[in-house]
A and B are shown apart, each in its own frame.
Chain A
Amino acid sequence: MKKFIRYPLQIFNYALFMGLVGYFSLYPSYHHLDENQAMITFTLGHVGKHVRACVKYSQEDLLKLPPNMRKPMDCPRERSPIIMELKLDDKVIFSKTAPPLGLYKDQGIDIYENIRAPAGKHKLTVWLNDDVKVEGPIYQLEQEITLAPEQHLVIEFKSEIGGFNVF
């Protein structure tokens, strides 16, 4: 084909190719949140309490055990599941019962949950139970929060501080 036709066709093809590259490298924009929405992240890294307390072996029980396995206390490896709930204005926005991990159910769990919430003033209630021996919330937090649009609010459970950290 004649060059004077071929060159414009090439320019057209290059323009089309670069148009595709340029467009999809930026657009369509992804709307991660709706207008006037904020993001709440609920997170924790925690190991539940043992499912039962340690029990002292009786002399009789100890004698039943092989000599190399005799020890004064019988402690379970299994941990309690962690039950958690997050409410915004008394409406549950996140709820989970996380069983302990591991073959012997003796490992901790990690939670990192993103929850979209409308901006504005809210009553935040969050509670957690990490002990099967106890009914209901063990750790609890209730507070007023004001969410700005596009704000990222983190609610972190930290056993070291004995509760929740909101930032």
Chain B
Amino acid sequence: MKFIHPVKRGYLALETWFNLSFGNAWNPLYNLGTLTFFFFWVVFVSGLYLFIFFDTSLTGAYASVEYMTHDQWYVAGVMRSLHRYASDAAIITILLHMFREFALDRYRGFRWFSWVTGVPTLWFVITLGITGYWLVWDDLALYIAVQSSQLMDALPLMPASMSRNFLQSQINDRFFTLMGFLHLLGQPVILFFALWIHVKRLSDVSIVPPRGLAVGSFIALLVLSLLLPAVSHEAADITKAPAVLNVDWFYLNIYPLMDYWTEGQVWMLTLGITGFLMIMPWLPRKKTGQAAEVHLDECNGCEQCAMDCPFDAITVQKRTDGARWENEVVVNESLCAACGICVGACHSSNPFRHSQQELVTGIDMPQSSINSLRTNVESAINNLQGENKIIVFGCDNAINFTGLQSSSIAVVSFFCVGMIPPTMIEYALKKGADGVFVTGCRTGDCYFRHGNKWFDERLAGERQPILRKRANRARINIFRAAESDCKELRRELDRFQASLQQLDADHESVNEGGS
């Protein structure tokens, strides 16, 4: 059995728990990005409502927040709580998102861009939260304002002390206008662009979680808002130094540290963590396989590969070779993740073509061509013995399935199940396999994002190239498993073998009855 890192094993156990609770489609761990976007939407909508009543003046800010919290608790108060708790929930989902990518080793190689752009995005979210706390202008806000200013003063960029502005009412309404502009417009716009850049190298990006998960999360936020409404500290007063502060640890965790460390040390820690996170994808570097290659002689420019590419690495352009087709595809090597999904999407990857000569397809992986895969499948089936000969098509990034190999079971490895052309399944059955067992990443958790989804849709006849109706579905089994699901995989394979046996027995009895 392959060694699984304890961090990964722990994460997979958590994922299993959520699969049990929510099912794969609603599993929050498979929807951390969309769930974060959902919380941002809650923050945005509740923020818009709060802005109606918020007074952006030094003297009016606190009073307007108090009005919303107490006098209009049933709407504005709830909105305020939703605003706060959705922001907090977003930090949890972001941190889990980061942990997930780390635990599953999905932050290096071709994924470096998303990881590196995600780090400053987290800081943008945190600073947005911090300015939100300033706007309340209570004791906590004053504490944060002064501490933040001290942090800024420690940088050799400030021409004059910011901290001293907060003494003896040296700040005025213009300060609040500035803060309001920052929190309500400036920072959200920056965050929006940061998020756009973060997902720039992905195609078919979803920002909406499954409806059930969204509804459940919103109800949970609402219940929390009603049970524990967000309230302010006392109004900001420079002559007071409150002994106890109820700090929001999701956003304000750095401030208490400043009572023990110098500003310089706090900056070193913050920048150190940021720098370390930013260079993590190269510690050590993960090599991405060779990029896909286009063979124009076999490409009719149908664009299916471009539509299926999960990383936006394939673009369509006007034909350059004078062929009668209108378009051709081009692979951007720097974006290609070498997943092979484009190979599975290409109609020319049909192994029944050119059976006596080399199979060349429209788009292929240099290190594992469709021709070599066809040869592997053929020779693997030829070497099988006994009854119920099964060929396992597995993905390299999920469970280690090579141990399943036996005299009656052959295994063929693909980069992703999305790389398997549906005709390859038919081909295997035609060449003598009694059953085809396909295993890849858990449902909802494809290493290459859409491999599972496209494969399922192709088999269901909803996406080109489809699995033809005449292929016997009873002889095809799909089982999704993570690295830790060895027992479940073995059990499912045994069950499939038994079902094939039953199928043969039924077939024989029908034949006997017929004769």
A residues whose Cβ falls under 8 Å from a Cβ of B: 1, 6, 9-10, 12-15, 17-18, 20-22, 24-27, 29-35, 37-39, 41, 43, 45, 110, 112, 114, 149-152, 154, 156, 167
Q: Is the CB of A154 within 8 A of B256?
A: no
Q: Is the CB of B21 within 8 A of A10?
A: yes
Q: Is the CB of B241 within 8 A of A150?
A: yes
Q: Is the CB of B244 within 8 A of A30?
A: yes
Interface centre among A9, A22, A37 (most CB of B within 10 A): A22
Interface centre among B160, B242, B243 (most CB of A within 10 A): B243
Q: How many residues of B contact A (CB 8 A)?
A: 46
Stretch at the interface among B246-254, B370-378, B380-388: B246-254
Q: Is the CB of B160 within 8 A of A110?
A: yes
Kindly state whether residue B503 has any CB partner on chain A within 8 Å. Answer: no
Given that A6-B21, A33-B241, A150-B240 are known contacts, is A25 also in contact with B250, CB under 8 Å in the complex? yes
Q: Is the CB of A30 within 8 A of B256?
A: yes
Q: Is the CB of B161 within 8 A of A152?
A: no
Q: Is the CB of A152 within 8 A of B243?
A: no
Report the minimal beta-carbon distance from B216 to chain A, rounded to whole angstroms: 6
Report the minimal beta-carbon distance from B339 to chain A, rounded to whole angstroms: 31
Q: Is the CB of A10 within 8 A of B164?
A: no
Minimum CB distance partner of A152 in chain B:
B241
Q: Is the CB of A17 within 8 A of B256?
A: no
Distance A20 CA – B89 CA, assembled complex (angstroms) = 9
- Chain A residues contacting B244 (CB-CB under 8 Å) are 29-32
Distance A116 CA – B251 CA, assembled complex (angstroms) = 25
Q: Is the CB of B168 within 8 A of A151?
A: no
Distance A22 CA – B14 CA, assembled complex (angstroms) = 22
Distance A27 CA – B247 CA, assembled complex (angstroms) = 7
Report the minimal beta-carbon distance from B342 to chain A, rounded to whole angstroms: 36
Kindly state whether residue B357 has any CB partner on chain A within 8 Å. Answer: no
Q: Is the CB of A18 within 8 A of B84?
A: no
The 7 A-B residue pairs whose C-beta atoms are closest, nearest first, are: A39-B241, A110-B161, A9-B21, A152-B241, A14-B220, A112-B163, A33-B243
- Chain A residues contacting B28 (CB-CB under 8 Å) are 13
Distance A18 CA – B149 CA, assembled complex (angstroms) = 32
Distance A45 CA – B240 CA, assembled complex (angstroms) = 22
Given that A24-B88, A152-B239 are known contacts, is A18 also in contact with B224, CB under 8 Å in the complex? yes
Kindly state whether residue B245 has any CB partner on chain A within 8 Å. Answer: yes
Report the minimal beta-carbon distance from A119 to chain B, rounded to whole angstroms: 10
Q: Is the CB of B249 within 8 A of A25?
A: yes
Q: Is the CB of B160 within 8 A of A167?
A: no
Contact of A152 among B153, B164, B238, B248 (CB under 8 A): B238
Distance A142 CA – B83 CA, assembled complex (angstroms) = 49
Given that A6-B23, A25-B84, A154-B168 are known contacts, is A17 also in contact with B220, CB under 8 Å in the complex? yes
Q: What are 11 A-B pairs at a CB distance below 8 A?
A: A14-B220, A21-B88, A21-B224, A25-B84, A30-B244, A32-B143, A112-B150, A151-B241, A154-B168, A154-B238, A156-B168
Distance A23 CA – B256 CA, assembled complex (angstroms) = 17
Distance A158 CA – B217 CA, assembled complex (angstroms) = 54
Report the minimal beta-carbon distance from B162 to chain A, rounded to whole angstroms: 9
Q: Is the CB of A1 within 8 A of B216?
A: no
- Chain A residues contacting B164 (CB-CB under 8 Å) are 43, 45, 110, 112
Report the minimal beta-carbon distance from A144 to chain B, rounded to whole angstroms: 18
Interface residues of B in 378-430 (CB under 8 A from A): none
Kindly state whether residue B18 has any CB partner on chain A within 8 Å. Answer: yes
Q: Is the CB of B23 within 8 A of A32?
A: no
Q: Is the CB of B18 within 8 A of A13?
A: yes
- Chain A residues contacting B242 (CB-CB under 8 Å) are 32-33, 150
Contact of B167 among A18, A26, A43, A151 (CB under 8 A): A43
Kindly state whether residue B283 has any CB partner on chain A within 8 Å. Answer: no
Q: Is the CB of A34 within 8 A of B221?
A: no
Distance A13 CA – B20 CA, assembled complex (angstroms) = 11
Interface residues of B in 133-171 (CB under 8 A from A): 143, 149-150, 153, 160-161, 163-164, 167-168
- Chain B residues contacting A30 (CB-CB under 8 Å) are 244-247, 256
Interface centre among B149, B220, B256 (most CB of A within 10 A): B220
Contact of B161 among A27, A41, A112 (CB under 8 A): A112
Taken residue by residue from 207 to 223, chain B's Cβ proximity to chain A (1 for < 8 Å, 0 otherwise) reads as 00000000011011101
Taken residue by residue from 84 to 113, chain B's Cβ proximity to chain A (1 for < 8 Å, 0 otherwise) reads as 110011001000000000000000000000
Kindly state whether residue B22 has any CB partner on chain A within 8 Å. Answer: yes
Given that A24-B249, A167-B168 are known contacts, is A43 also in contact with B241, CB under 8 Å in the complex? no
Q: Is the CB of B167 within 8 A of A154?
A: yes
Contact of B228 among A17, A22, A154, A156 (CB under 8 A): A22
Interface centre among B28, B160, B241 (most CB of A within 10 A): B241
- Chain B residues contacting A1 (CB-CB under 8 Å) are 20, 23
Minimum CB distance partner of B156 in chain A:
A101
Distance A38 CA – B241 CA, assembled complex (angstroms) = 7
